[in-house]
Each structure stands twice: as C-alpha cells, then as structure tokens.
Structure 1
Amino acid sequence: KVPPMLPRFVEVPGTGEIKRFLTLEELIANHLGDLFPGMEVLDHHAFRLTRNEDVEIEEDESENLIQALEAELLRRRFGPPIRLEITDDMDEVTMDLLVRELDITDKEIYRLPGPLDLRGLFDLSRIDRPDLRYPPHLPTTAVAFQPTGSNTRADIFTAIRKSDVLVHHPYESFTTSVVSFLEQAARDPHVLAIKQTLYRTSGDSPIVEALIDAAEAGKQVLALVEVKARFDEANNIVWARKLEKAGVHVVYGLVGLKTHCKLALVIREEDGVLRHYSHIGTGNYNPKTSRIYEDFGLFTTDAQVGKDLTRLFNELSGYAIEKKFKRLLVAPLHLRKGLVRQIDHERRNAENGKPASIRIKVNSMVDEEVIDALYRASAAGVKVDVWVRGICSLRTDLEGISDNITVRSILGRYLEHSRIFAFHNDGDPQVYIGSADMMH
C-alpha cells in the first residue's frame, strides 16, 4: 500500500523548460528489486480499492453522538470493499487472487487503461505555468456593501436595512459580504444573538472565529454543526469542540436527519425593538470553496423570514417541532410538496391558456415525484428549462411527455453549485433559492 502523503506524480529532473512527470507506481515498479532484495520479481500490477465509507450510527441509542461517531470513523478504514479498479494488463491469476482475498464480485471490478486514481492531476495544476491558467479573478464587493469612503468600513446592517441584498459568488466577494456580516455582528454591542448552521467550512475558518469572538463578548451564540457531513466528520468534530470550549451553544440537529441548510440569523436591538438580519445561502460557509463554487446568498431583514428562521433554529436545537413556515420550504416535510405544488400551478395555468414556464438549477435531479410533476407540466405545454451539474434522471426524449423540457449542464471555470427554482406564476414570478437537490 502506497503511503497517502507521497505525491501521485513525481517530477523527473531535467533541463530546459519542459517538465516531465511519471506516476508513483511506475517509479516503484522500476525499483521493486530494491524493495524485495533476494527475490525474483515476475510481474507487477497496480490496483485501487474503494471501501464503503458511509457512517452508520444508531443516534437514538447513542448517549454521546460525538464519541459514537469517532468510533465509527475508526472502523471506516475497514469498511467492506465496493469497487476494485485494475489496470487493463492485469493477468487473470492475479485478478482471481484479488477477487478471492477481497471477497468482491465481478460486477464490482473495473478494468481501466490507467493510470488509476486521476485525482493526483490536481497536483499538476500547481506547476508554475501561468500560460496554462485562467487569468486571476478578483471578486468585486457587492455594490450595497461597498464603503462610502476610502478610509471607512462598510456598515453591513445599514445596507441590509435599506433593501435586500443578493450576492453571487465567486463573482462577488464572500469575504466582504458573508464574513463581514458575521464579523460585524460579533463586535456590534447591539447584537444580542447569532444563530448559524455549519455543514462544511475551511481549516482556518473566519466564520468560526467570528462565532467564538461573539460568544466571548457575551452574546448568545448557537451553532448547529453537522458532524455527519460526509468526509468532513472529523473536521466538524474539531470545530464543535472548539466552539463549545469558547462558550458557544453547539447542537447537532435532529435525530435521523442530516442538517444541510445554509443559514445565519443575527438578532439586533434597535431603538428598543428586536430586528432579525437573515442570510440564506446555497453554498457552505467556506471562504476557500467560495472562490471556485458558484453560489447565491440573500441578506434580508424581512420580518417573516426572520420569524421562520427563528422557528427553524428552535426546531433544530430541540426546543419545538415546527410544522408551519410562511416563507421557507423546509425538507423533509415541506420542500417536495411545495415544489410539486408550484409545478402543478404552472401546469394548470398552461391548461387554462395562460403563459407558464419553469426554470430549475440543481446539482442532481433524481426525485421521482418532482420528475413526474415536470413531465405532467411539459405535457400540458409548460416550458421547462433545467440546469443540472451532476446526475440527472429527467429525460428529454419522451414523445408527448417531455417535448417542452430542455436539460443543460454548465461546465466552466467554476463549479456550478447554486440551487434555484423559478416559476412564471402568471406574470408574478416566484423564485426560491436553497441548498437542496432533487434527491431522496
């Protein structure tokens, strides 16, 4: 087994401007005689094994979720094999040995031309070749959050009070919007409370530091840390403990559910009245990925949105089970029903001769109920445009059913990560943003 800290591609020393690399397995293969002295090396092959790394915890039976999760993470290394990748030159004898020893089926074997595991190509993107790179992109500060003078700092709260602010990352800066919003809340003496969800964040997160600063300043701070975020479990456990140590009230969401929403709520006292400043995002509170992930974030002081977020945070922190929201569609109870209701409304408008259209942008589209509703709408004459980054089960080739459906995928410099649902609504458009994909 090759140690994971070694580079996947090794640079071959040479002269001139041309850089040459060879795979680590090629380097090892050419020195097998040194690794196994006194032995005759007859043949060699590379293979790659993928194990099931899903974490399964009986949450209702675990007194301490963190300890149970840490124990499960230790067992993850020994999860059952689910995929064996082999090079196309591997002989049958060697392959049969692997199949037998790993207890894997023929359906789980993938014979590939190689090299295996192309994630290592990310390392090659770091070589000093500016002529092969995109030109540097510097995000702008959203107009509403730009300071009025050269030596002044923008007042985020004043800007949001004037009007709702929609920011589009990475074209508009995450740092001068979301991070500034939370940092200003942490030091503002009029801010009484901050409530925040954390699904994935960066290693040196200014978001976490702002929450810690706020707690140390005496504010009431609630952080919902999703410790079951896939492959970020260990990182989130570290953040949870760091936040708890600083006095932040850390909760882990509802039993049996993964908390995927991206929300922040700041409660501020203004002239004896409590005002709610809300941020609803489509992406993680992660300054690093915000530079390469396309996402939206909405800042608002809308009172009803603030009430909905307050109710939702109360539910997530275990204070109450909330079943009614005025402005939010919250899974698993309301989201699918709400979207299908909007789709069916467009279908009825089309059947009544009114203009009707639907535009959806998601990462995945596999939910049968939503797909069936879109088919019904298309058959009724609704123009349906869908942008899907990843897996998509929505078909466009069903005559008489999906004639009005167009599916696209955007491949470009940035990873398309936002989720948007827009409905014509007879000339009064209804638009939703969120973090949910159309999956089970």
Structure 2
Amino acid sequence: LPPRLPRLIPIDESETRFVSLDEIIAANIKALFPNMKPNRASIFRVTRDADIEIREDEAGDLLRTMERELLVRRRFSFPVRIEVEASMSEKMTNYIASSIGLTEKDVYRINGFVNISDLMSLYSLDRPDLKDQPISYSIPSALKTQDDVFETIKKQDIFVHHPYTSYTTITDFLESAATDERVRAIKICLYRTGKDSPIVRSLMKASKNGKQVAALVELKARFDEENNIEWARRLESEGVHVIYGMKGLKTHSKLMLVIRHENNRLRRYVHIATGNYNPITSRHYTDMGLLTADEEIGADASDLFNFLTGYSYQTGYRQLLIAPIDLREKMLEMIKRETKNKLKGASARIIVKINSLTDDKIVRALYRASRAGVKIDLIVRGICVLRPGIQGLSENIRVVSVIGRFLEHSRIFYFENGGDEELYIGSADWMHRNLDRRVEAVVPVKDKRLVRYIKNEALAAYLRDNVNAQTLDSEGDYHAIEIADGEKRFDSQMFFVGSDL
C-alpha cells in the first residue's frame, strides 16, 4: 500500500468509526483481478534494512553520497523481516518469504492489527477522555526573576529536566544568544532536530546577525538522514558553517557553546544534555541538561568543537568525559574506585540510569564491585546483558527497567566515592557503539545542590516506582513489582510534574 494513503478510512460523518484500507481492498479483491477467482486475501508487511553503508574514505562529498544512498535504500534495501496476519496459510507465508530471500525464522505472525503504529493517527481525534491529561511545564526558578539569562547562568548552574522543565528554557537561551550584541559565536551538535525546528531558525538568525555560527549536523543519524540533509542545506544557505560529522564516527553528543564578549574578555556558556535539540520529542522523552558558565567545562567544549571541526586532536579534557577518547576508561576507574573503597571500609555505592548496558568490560567491572560488596542500582530501560542476583557474582546488583508514559532517555552516573560524591549526566549509554564508535560527552554536575536533587529525588524516585518499573531476575526475565495491600502506588514520572529547582 502506498505510504501516502491513510490506513484508516472513516465510515461516518463524525469520523469516529473507521475501517482499515486493507479490509476494503480485501473485500473488493475480485475487482483488482478480473477474470480470476481469488479465494482469500491476507495482509503482510516487509521490513527492510535501514542501515546505510558508506565507505567514508572513498566518499568525497558526504552530503551527495548520503542523498544517493537514501535513494538506493528506498528502492533496493534488503528485506530483513516479514510480518503476516495470523490467519495466513503456511503455504502462502513460505511462498512470500522465500520470494524475497527470507526464511521461516524471519517470519512474525501477528495476532491482531499488522503494523500497529498506523493506529497513531487516531490520536488526532478530539477525544480528550481517552488521552492522558496534559502535564504542566515549569521554568527553573532562577530564570523566573532574571531578565538576563547570561548573568543568571554566571551566578549558578541551571538544571533542566524535560519534559517537566519547559523546553522553551533552551530555545529561549539560544534565541537570546542569536540576538545578543555581545555574543560572538555559537557552536552546536545536531543529531535529531525535528521537521520544524526553532533551534535551527535561531541559528540562521544568529548568522544573519553577524555571529560566527558552526553546526555539526550528523548526516548518519538513522531515520533522520533526509531531515538532517535538508537542514544542513538550509543552514549553509544562511551562512552557517556546517560540518557533516566525523569520518568513522557518529557524533551523538548533545552540546551547545555560546561565546560572549564581556569586560574585555571572552566568556563561554555551555548547554550539555542527555537528549536531542528537538522540542517535539522533549515532550515525550525524559532528559536532563545543564546550562553552565564553568570555565573548565567551557574550555573543554571549545576543545571538543575544535576536535569535531578537524582543527585539533584533543586527547585529554579537564572536566568532560569524551568517547571514544576516555569515557570508558574513566567509568572503569570510577567503578574500580568504589570497589577499593568498599574493601577498605569506606562508603561505596553506584547508581546508574541508562538506556542500554552491553559493554562487557563495564559488566565485568560491575561484577567485581558486587563481589566486593558494593551496592549497585542500575536503571536500564532497554537491553541489559548483566544478570543481577547471582550468588557470589552479582547479589549486590539490582536492575530496574522503567517503561511509562514518557520514554526514559536520560543517562545519569552516580558514585559515592567515600562520601565525596560524584555525579555525571550525558549522552552515552554503556554500549560498545557509544563508547567506541560515537562522539559522546558526559559532564560532571558540580553544584552540590543539584547533586542532592538528582540523587535523592530523581534517582530515588525511579527506584521507588511500583507502577512503571519492572525488575530483572538472574534468569534474564522481567517482573512487574507487586504492590502490597495498603501500599501506595508511586509513579516516578508523575512525581516530577510541577517540580521546581
């Protein structure tokens, strides 16, 4: 079926009752095959390989190469999976699968609506009684009483927690930078920006206002390649210096640097976050970010952008942890430090919130820490190859997955460090691809007030959740948390609504 056609067709004037397009076609199948006697019709859906393989060392113009490869992917990319409705006969299933080069193991029988994502169109119906109640968005308290965002950030770091913190905090900051006469330069990493981006509009405005603007637009962001190509061309047309990513690496870091002339010197302002510069997904993903004027973090951000633009190769940073340079090494050092602290009787604790955990070196380090007695809490939304609760190996490790109304996307790393606590946020998961094949940035949260909030409020809330959370057992199975009689339901995601820092 052509993707431009609606899958659901209204059958009454109020457009509240629908029939699927495939049912209409099936009911009229004889009209499509005149002089034949079709005896039945079944639905199937083919999934094709979405990867784009590029020999970057041979691609003279990455932008044109990506555009060409996207055309090839649309027409000729290899099938990797076929979904069929449960009633399709074995004979027909095998025939379709074999005709596109697939085998029985690539076939998924769907007992229900094939491609359930097409039902998302129903969300546009005016039925508020069937939808979640909208949440209220807050503004960081420090920004409510100050007109000058730069003066506010100089006084203290500003913490944002989306979707609970309005994303206008970030778009307004960039808009202020674009129009401020003392701002000299803006640099940013764009991974997934959305189709109608106020971020990109502000960058173009800044360039028109005579500021030096540089944007690293990651053309290899899967499923966003076409969108990013379009934005890259528009940015270039407005005089923005556009970099198309690094050879052999995806730039996944979420980083913005604003350079401002103040009191006969240049001062750097940095936004670093766990999520993309995308106001749309910011309403549906949980992410954290930091606005800071810390001089060492600012110097690190400058060095990182120089690395990304090819002007230098920095091998060490003052505050930031950068993949693929030293992020894994630093994380392993901090896990090892907790292990040593526990063995010598000092306080030791590890709490980590990430999307996925697959890195074998980190898993082994966590096992060693557990055997030493370090209490470890891992909040891992997706893939987790570590097995908790195995006697003599991981009995001190708990793994929780939180799946709720919002997509948990923030990455947080807490280490007790003998009482001298350290906490980091950033873009990286503990996966090979993040640590070895992507440019990632993780920043220390240095304000003790923010450390206490993230540890004692945010992380503690996820670990208390008995509504959205599931625990992983030693066999690799997940179990919903049973709520005891008299125990109150606690939804961590709703706990943050209205919170104000």
TM-score, normalised to structure 1, is 0.95
Find the aligned partners of 2:138 and 2:156 in 1 and give their Cα distance.
19
Q: Which moved more, 1:112-121 or 1:350-359?
A: 112-121
Please say if residues 183 and 261 of structure 2, whose CA atoms lie closer than 8 Å, have aligned partners that are also in contact.
yes
**1:198 counterpart = 2:190:** yes
Please say if residues 156 and 180 of structure 1, whose CA atoms lie closer than 8 Å, have aligned partners that are also in contact.
no
Amino acid at match of 1:369: K
Find the aligned partners of 2:267 and 2:46 in 1 and give their Cα distance.
54
Please say if residues 225 and 236 of structure 1, whose CA atoms lie closer than 8 Å, have aligned partners that are also in contact.
yes
Find the aligned partners of 2:28 and 2:57 in 1 and give their Cα distance.
52
Match of 2:369 in 1: 377
1:147 Cα offset (Å): 4.1
Q: Which moved more, 1:343-352 or 1:93-102?
A: 93-102
**1:318 counterpart = 2:313:** no
Match of 1:261 in 2: 253
Find the aligned partners of 2:180 and 2:174 in 1 and give their Cα distance.
10
Please say if residues 147 and 155 of structure 1, whose CA atoms lie closer than 8 Å, have aligned partners that are also in contact.
no
Task: Tell me which of 75, 93, 96 is aligned to 2:94.
Answer: 96
1:95 Cα offset (Å): 1.9
Find the aligned partners of 2:376 and 2:51 in 1 and give their Cα distance.
35
1:253 Cα offset (Å): 2.4
Please say if residues 47 and 116 of structure 1, whose CA atoms lie closer than 8 Å, have aligned partners that are also in contact.
yes
Write out per-residue CA displacement over residues 378-399 of structure 1, whole angstroms, 9 at most, x where no aligned residue: 1111111111111111211322
Find the aligned partners of 1:357 and 1:22 in 2 and give their Cα distance.
55
Task: Tell me which of 5, 28, 31 is aligned to 1:31.
Answer: 28
**1:359 counterpart = 2:351:** yes
Amino acid at match of 1:140: S
Match of 1:227 in 2: 219
1:14 Cα offset (Å): 7.4
Match of 2:457 in 1: none
Match of 2:150 in 1: 157
Write out per-residue CA displacement over residues 81-104 of structure 1, whole angstroms, 9 at most, x where no aligned residue: 111112222223212321331111
Please say if residues 45 and 83 of structure 2, whose CA atoms lie closer than 8 Å, have aligned partners that are also in contact.
yes
Q: Secondary structure at the match of 1:61?
A: coil
Q: Which moved more, 1:26-35 or 1:367-376?
A: 26-35
Q: Secondary structure at the match of 1:360?
A: strand
1:297 Cα offset (Å): 0.9
Write out per-residue CA displacement over residues 195-223 of structure 1, whole angstroms, 9 at most, x where no aligned residue: 10100112121111111111111111110
1:106 Cα offset (Å): 2.1
Structure 2 residue runs without a partner (length 5+): 433-501
Task: Tell me which of 55, 58, 63 is aligned to 1:58.
Answer: 55
Percentage of matched positions with identical amino acids: 50
Map residues 17-416 of structure 1 onto 2, 5 A cutoff: 19-77=16-74, 78-148=76-146, 154-175=147-168, 177-416=169-408
Amino acid at match of 1:72: E
Find the aligned partners of 2:405 and 2:216 in 1 and give their Cα distance.
32
Amino acid at match of 1:209: R
Amino acid at match of 1:3: P
Amino acid at match of 1:132: L
Please say if residues 63 and 244 of structure 2, whose CA atoms lie closer than 8 Å, have aligned partners that are also in contact.
no
1:19 Cα offset (Å): 4.1
- How many residues get paired? 431
Match of 2:473 in 1: none
Find the aligned partners of 2:183 and 2:91 in 1 and give their Cα distance.
69
1:425 Cα offset (Å): 0.8
Find the aligned partners of 1:434 and 1:88 in 2 and give their Cα distance.
43
Amino acid at match of 2:57: D
Find the aligned partners of 1:413 and 1:104 in 2 and give their Cα distance.
35
Write out per-residue CA displacement over residues 147-204 of structure 1, whole angstroms, 9 at most, x where no aligned residue: 45xxxxx3211110111111111111111x1111111011111111111010011212
Find the aligned partners of 1:197 and 1:169 in 2 and give their Cα distance.
19
Find the aligned partners of 1:289 and 1:113 in 2 and give their Cα distance.
30
Amino acid at match of 1:181: F
Find the aligned partners of 1:107 and 1:220 in 2 and give their Cα distance.
54
Match of 1:151 in 2: none
Higher relative contact order (CA 8 A, sep 6+): 2
Amino acid at match of 2:6: P
Q: Which moved more, 1:120-129 or 1:214-223?
A: 120-129
Find the aligned partners of 1:27 and 1:398 in 2 and give their Cα distance.
54
TM-score, normalised to structure 2, is 0.84
Structure 1 residue runs without a partner (length 5+): 149-153
Amino acid at match of 2:59: S
Q: Secondary structure at the match of 2:99?
A: helix
Match of 1:3 in 2: 2
Please say if residues 223 and 251 of structure 1, whose CA atoms lie closer than 8 Å, have aligned partners that are also in contact.
yes
